[in-house]
Structure 1
Amino acid sequence: MHYHLKTLTHITTVVRTLTGPSTRTMSTGLMFQLKVNPVNGTSEWIVIEEEQVDDVSPKPLLATTSYLDMLNDAPRNRAYCLAIDKAVTKHSQVLDIGSGTGLLSMMAARAMDIDTTSSTSSLSSSKGTVTACESYLPMVKLMKKVLRANNMNHKIRVLNKRSDELEVGADIASRADVLVSEILDSELLGEGLIPTLQHAHDNLLVENYQTVPHKATTYGQLVESTYLWKLHDLYNNEANVADGIHLVPKGKEGILQVKPQQFAMHCDAFGEDIQLLSEPFQIFEFDFWKRPESHGETRVHIKPTRDGTVHAVISWWVLQLDKEGKIFYSTSPKWISSPSSHSGTKDWCDHWKQCVWFTKGKGLAVCKDESVYMDATHTDISISYKFNDHHWLTTQDSHITLSPERISIYGDKQWRHSMLKALNYALKGIESPLCVIADDSVFLSVAIACVSKTSHIISLFPGISDKGSQYLQAVADENGYSMDQVRVINTRKQQLTMNDTHQNKVDLLIAEPFYFGADGMLPWHGLQFWSKRTMLDSMLSDDVCIMPCKGILKACAMSLPDLWRSRHALGDIEGVNHTMVNDTLGACGPSSESPCFPFFIWQCGEMEKLSDTFTVMEFDFLKPLSSCHGKTKVEFTEAGVCHGFALWIDWVMDSTNDVVMSTGPDQRYWKQGVKLLAEPLNIVQPGICSTVIEAYFDASSGELSVKNR
């Protein structure tokens, strides 16, 4: 599931990705910030006093969350504003759960001030109130700044608590009659919407309360897509490669797999890679104005519109924000023609995407007009599907769950061929080589055992550890190697020493590089390999082969208008000033540049390359880890508006530069780093216009900073 930091109503610990620090808010009021070094993998909690958040910019705490993209979603903001204006009167008792910057609370407070429809004689004379509930302390601090700047701090009571910690009579004077919230993820339920509403219904709201939004409906559509098929069916894709390596042998198809869940993706980017096999169909309807059930099931009968193979279900949701059914917001893909009453946006946004559910194996064959049925089930946090009693793959105890992109990489014929070519080059002519796999690559562990039957292999598996050992044991027979040949030593638990190698030095040190759990990180997270290589320096033989032997930080100037729109500096949002949050949220604007963010460039909406690919700097893995710097002049080759740069690393596997694994924007399996400019550059005369990009890698912190000069 994917929790936004914005609404941690049921989560006490916030653990951010390794692109930056995390925070843990304790009952004492202290904050603990988790600082992670992306190169050596070490982490530590450091104490931050509360006053530091006000005195020192908390930008590192919040800059990689989705707040900014959400606040830049004008149709969303407008829909909420209209619905709140209709629901709130000057006598309303309003509760805002997961308040974020307080935008919805301020809309509610303003609606009380401008309400002219209420009759004092027919209503209670009690004064309306707005209570904002937000559990994330750094966001509470930021919200209070926004309230003060908009002169609304005296109109809204802010509670730094989870909603399930609130008590009537202590935290709020009485039960609320209006609930406003935005605790929705791309799947709808993943942020804890149902348990939040259940608790609020039972403990915090009057009987006939109103909610904004009023209800949500989920929809789906059957699609055929070779691309989506390759993201989950490693067994059948591997069968087409025929290189003698069996990562998922017959009968063990689930030993490497993706989680049986919905995956948030920008489905408009698939373009011609998908064929629609049905009309859209309704799946679930969730009424927010009554107590929701934790479990629900429905059977959907679907009549395909053409012959084909169902590889996936693409789903989305539509919000009805008002009771009357006149204000809507939709997360549907662009090919869906929403009714005119659906005032939802078709603009690109990253905080809500469509979702993809993979069908089993090769997919489900369907014929036009011959109905199939789909059983849909929801829990309190997720939605799942199955077709015609086809269940998800059963799993073994030794199974490893990987991202869809990693599954697709392992089934890619060209990628596997390149890796095997590099291995054969490295192991040629070496008798009984000692090989150390420095990352979480099960492919390299199996491939080396297959390529060199006399090799001795040590797999460090820092992320998958014991599961990696169980996996190698499970597939040994099908790949023709003995576990006497392979050892797994988890270096997170102990340091590799000469005793582990029986006093033999390492002949081959290799990685893809791939580190489990780092799929959503910036490309240079793979520089962990450089740190591992450095720690093992004394154990390397004089003629050791190191793969990759170097990494090249590459970049390309890009026009990214949709991404820029979602992350540009905030100003007035429905009459509420938000300029004071820009630095904290990492907005790009005249006063500051944004940090680098990880994105699949090909899924970032409209895009265009404005320069050739250029090298920023190189990392020499033949030498120990060290800080380095790069600076280059960028010459534009196309006219257009440059919003920033895509950055990635090309991993050079061999000293002849014959095998290079690129993770650039032309490759769909890897995320790139995106550095947006403080202000876009208008390129009128390509070939004449230029700029300078500079990068610095700090070996001690593992941070890589990029600046445009």
Structure 2
Amino acid sequence: MPNSRSQRRHKTGQEARRRELVSRSLQSVQHCLADQDFGTAYAHYLLVLNLAPELKKDVKETFQFTLFKWAEELDSLARIQDLFDCYEHALELFPDDEVICNSMGEHLFRMGFRDEAAAYFHKAVKLNPDFPDAKENFYRVANWVVERWHFIMLNDTNRNLLYQKAIQNAVHSGYRSVLDIGTGTGILSMFAKTAGASSVYACELSKTMYELAREVLVANGLDGDIRLLHVKSPDLEIPKHIPERVSLVITETVDSGLFGEGIVESLIHAWEHLLLPPKPIGGEVGVQNYGRVIPAGATIWGMAVECKEIRRHHRVGVKEIAGVCLPDVLEFHSPTYTPVNSDETVEPYTTEKLSRIPGGYKPLTDHFQVLTVDFNNLQELKSFASHKPSKINIPLVKEGILDAIIVWFTLQLDDEHSLSTSPSEETCWEQAVYPVQGLVDYSVKSGDSVMMEISCQDCYLRLQDVSLVTSDNGMDVERNFQEKNSEAELCSALAGLQTANKLERVRQDCMLESTEIALLNNLSYHECFKIAISNVLSTLSLREQSQSMDVNSDSNELHPEKIQNKNLESFDPLYVLDVSEGFSILPLIAGKFGPVKVYSSVEKDQHQKALVLLSEANRFPKETLEFWLGHLQDENMVLQRPKSDKLWSIIILDVIETSGLIQQDVMEKAAISRCLLHSGGKIFPQHVKMYGMLVESQSLVLETAVQGKDPTLGFNIAPFINQFKVPFRVFLDLSTLPYVPLSKSVELLRVDLMNPYLNESRREVKVQICKSGQVTGIPFWYHVHLEEDTYLDTSSESSHWKQAAVVLDEPIPVRQGDELVLSVQYHKSNVSITVRL
């Protein structure tokens, strides 16, 4: 009994000390928070919650606040490991806290860890499906980690069937040990196992896709039969990862240009380290001692085309934009343009679904063979990287403008089965587009020929050094017979006179994104801004002039002649700040309405040099243009006053992403901007109206989610990959999207940057059905209002913006005359739309 009492006293004493320590630590937390010493406060909280876990519910909110503030400090100090350690400790204490999971994901995403970020966002959404911040973060990152082509590819029944048949043939022929390189969802591995393969290995580099494949294999009862490896194939080793060499490699690591996903390099490694040697020609019938690859080979095809849509995204076709002359010495190129001798590794092509490109395309040549490749020939694969470039000469059969070489391929899976990615085929693949750039003249006629250099390097097929050979003399000629109108000639001449001595007529190249080139070609965009900028600056200039003039003391009226004769240069300049995304000449357009001081937020050195050259060519005073980020210690302070005693007259913001969505954090930027405006100053755009309509579109459905088991030949894949579907389809072009309109367009939302009290976080819109069908989506676009009557339509033919669409989880059957109600919610620059009858 004495011992029992002693133990009770000891426990009572321990409990009292624990309570006292917890109490003191909580008091220390409050003192530290008052002093903004978040690191110490966080340490005290860890102690409190480890000693008294029963307090978790009571201190949860202040703990989160402390964690986030301390994480911000660690982030600013680049103490990245300490930051993640803090979050790991927090998640040990609150493993099911969606807010902490979401915040952890945001830090990971900003640092480039997309797979890891996706996992935390996904967990946050599972914990709370109605958490809007986590949903939006997950939707954004899902497009990165599970690219949309996965859904399109898995819905391509023909592609899946051809691969299944080729794999079955190989396994039934005796190739029974299989390695699937780049397994994705694991469908090719499952084809091999169900065909009778004795051992199947599958490797996948993406952490997200690896986890997804693991779930798929479990759901299909094959997790014990297929060994899934989270590793890049060139890092596979025997016997570390697989016990011995395999007889069959299956892969579909091909992109629209065939080689862009590294299939040549991965197969060279496989033949040297993972595959049995290839069967010799004329060898014995048995295959158990030999290796093989599916696909067996490929033929790449090409065609020269004229295409206005490709042209406007890769070549600036104007010499004057809203009064700003473009000198001949400045040449803009898209990222696909790389000089022949350049060491820079860039993807030399873009991709397009040519069957759906706006305006279509015109073939200028017959289709021609670019090259062939045998994936079962190691020496041939090795030769691709070492061979010198070869030249081919292709006759032109039609007159037109040479805009691009388009490329597709025929993938030979085995002797019986092949699939084509031709633009004339209904396939999940897009085509590779090699825009032609750097010629003096792009006009061609029948009988001419186009010459190009073909090489395979840096994992890419390259078509470069494109030139034209005339039918007249058989010589390579760079011609420029395009007529110029007199205004463009005058602009070019003036620019040449101004810059000849200073620049010595040395050409300056400037690389722009394709959307930035399309923007420069969008003349209506710049003309609208010119009108709106002129209206604001003229009003403010007159007001400033009036305030500085003598006022008649008798009549109390202004003297108009004094206003007219006053030298404008004597007035203080008006300040214009352009913080729109990417390369923009809007500051130069504003600079033409002097006296104006314009600030550009472009960051890239070559972009700044291009703007300086344009400024000099258009005879701007040197002090007119400045680069605002050069004045800042912190890029987050971009919206600040140019001087302590000056305010901005105009602030230009980007509200719409080129993808078709509203820019993130735009309302926060607008709130800051309103505080920094001169009286009478404006934010451009002042407001944005969002329009949409109800449509039936099977294409939207197939491009957003896998449609059951049928396209995947009975395998249960859809529920797992569809976890990564998003309700928005972005980068759409409504002019070529296959759809049936079921209603007229209606205004869905108004976002006002100048008058936030006009904004609604939620509104309901009634829509009348004008045609019976099934509603599968709601495409939407915007009118970007610089002024009430001056706006830009993001769905116009000349727009550099694309459109987007909400895709419904389930189609809604409707009949003509029905009325649907759309509930539109706007939260932190994110829009969600739900539909009900």
Give the match for residue 85 of structure 1: 168
Give the match for residue 238 of structure 1: 318
Q: Distance in 1 between matches of 2:166 and 2:690?
A: 48
Which structure shows the higher strand fraction?
1
8 Å contact from structure 2 (residues 331, 510) kept in 1: no
Deviates more, 1:202-211 or 1:265-274: 265-274
**Deviation at residue 285 of structure 1 after TM alignment:** 1.5
Q: How does 1:114-513 map onto structure 2 within 5 Å?
A: 128-208=198-278, 209-234=291-316, 237-239=317-319, 241=320, 243-246=322-325, 248-254=326-332, 259-260=337-338, 261-270=348-357, 273-291=360-378, 292=381, 293-294=384-385, 296=387, 297-322=389-414, 324=415, 326-334=416-424, 346-347=425-426, 349=428, 352-361=430-439, 363-385=441-463, 386-388=465-467, 400-431=510-541, 432-440=573-581, 441-449=583-591, 451-461=592-602, 464-490=603-629, 493=635, 495-496=637-638, 500-511=642-653, 513=655
8 Å contact from structure 2 (residues 785, 792) kept in 1: yes
Deviations along 1:267-298, one digit per CA (max 9) or x if unpaired, are: 11247642221110010222222332225533
Give the match for residue 539 of structure 1: 676
Sequence identity percentage: 21
8 Å contact from structure 1 (residues 35, 43) kept in 2: no
Q: Distance in 2 between matches of 1:352 and 1:256?
A: 20
**Deviation at residue 497 of structure 1 after TM alignment:** 7.1
Q: Is 1:96 aligned to 2:180, yes or no? A: yes
Q: Distance in 2 between matches of 1:269 and 1:202?
A: 42
8 Å contact from structure 2 (residues 161, 713) kept in 1: yes
Q: Distance in 1 between matches of 2:671 and 2:113?
A: 25
Aligned partner (choices 625, 630, 633) of residue 763 of structure 2 = 630
| Unaligned runs of at least 5 residues, structure 1 | 1-25, 114-127, 335-345, 587-593
Q: Secondary structure at the match of 2:645?
A: coil
Give the match for residue 779 of structure 2: 646
8 Å contact from structure 1 (residues 249, 478) kept in 2: yes
Q: Secondary structure at the match of 2:831?
A: strand
8 Å contact from structure 2 (residues 102, 120) kept in 1: no
Deviations along 1:627-648, one digit per CA (max 9) or x if unpaired, are: 7223212222334443201122
Q: Distance in 1 between matches of 2:744 and 2:120?
A: 47
Deviates more, 1:599-608 or 1:303-312: 599-608
Q: Distance in 2 between matches of 1:487 and 1:242?
A: 20
8 Å contact from structure 2 (residues 522, 799) kept in 1: no
* Normalised TM-score (structure 2): 0.68
Q: Secondary structure at the match of 1:207?
A: coil
Q: Distance in 1 between matches of 2:508 and 2:594?
A: 24
**Deviation at residue 684 of structure 1 after TM alignment:** 3.8
Distance 1:93 1:500, change over 3 A: same
Deviates more, 1:294-303 or 1:475-484: 294-303
Q: Secondary structure at the match of 1:435?
A: strand
Deviations along 1:314-351, one digit per CA (max 9) or x if unpaired, are: 211111111x2x211111112xxxxxxxxxxx3364x5
Q: Secondary structure at the match of 2:670?
A: helix
* Normalised TM-score (structure 1): 0.80
Distance 1:36 1:109, change over 3 A: closer
Give the match for residue 20 of structure 2: none
Aligned partner (choices 799, 819, 823) of residue 694 of structure 1 = 823
Which structure shows the higher helix fraction?
2
Q: Distance in 1 between matches of 2:783 and 2:422?
A: 35
Distance 1:273 1:315, change over 3 A: same
Q: Distance in 2 between matches of 1:390 and 1:471?
A: 29
8 Å contact from structure 1 (residues 315, 354) kept in 2: yes
Q: Distance in 2 between matches of 1:615 and 1:195?
A: 52
Q: Distance in 2 between matches of 1:602 and 1:497?
A: 35
Aligned partner (choices 789, 793, 803) of residue 658 of structure 1 = 789
**Deviation at residue 364 of structure 1 after TM alignment:** 3.4
Distance 1:425 1:361, change over 3 A: farther
What root-mean-square deviation, in Å, do the aligned CA atoms of Structure 1 and Structure 2 show? 3.4
Q: Secondary structure at the match of 2:376?
A: coil
8 Å contact from structure 2 (residues 302, 408) kept in 1: yes
8 Å contact from structure 1 (residues 312, 358) kept in 2: yes
Q: Which amino acid aligns with 1:191?
A: E
**Deviation at residue 257 of structure 1 after TM alignment:** 7.0
User: How many residues are matched?
Assistant: 623
Greater relative contact order (Cα < 8 A, sep 6+): 1
**Deviation at residue 610 of structure 1 after TM alignment:** 2.7
8 Å contact from structure 1 (residues 508, 546) kept in 2: yes
Q: Distance in 2 between matches of 1:678 and 1:55?
A: 21
**Deviation at residue 199 of structure 1 after TM alignment:** 2.2
8 Å contact from structure 2 (residues 308, 359) kept in 1: no
Distance 1:44 1:433, change over 3 A: same
Q: Which amino acid aligns with 2:766?
A: K
**Deviation at residue 197 of structure 1 after TM alignment:** 1.9
Distance 1:48 1:460, change over 3 A: closer
Q: Distance in 2 between matches of 1:137 and 1:75?
A: 28
Structure whose CA Rg is larger? 2
**Deviation at residue 570 of structure 1 after TM alignment:** 2.8
8 Å contact from structure 2 (residues 694, 779) kept in 1: yes
Q: Distance in 1 between matches of 2:680 and 2:190?
A: 67
**Deviation at residue 507 of structure 1 after TM alignment:** 1.1
Q: Which amino acid aligns with 2:332?
A: G
Q: Which amino acid aligns with 2:315?
A: D
Q: Distance in 2 between matches of 1:271 and 1:442?
A: 25
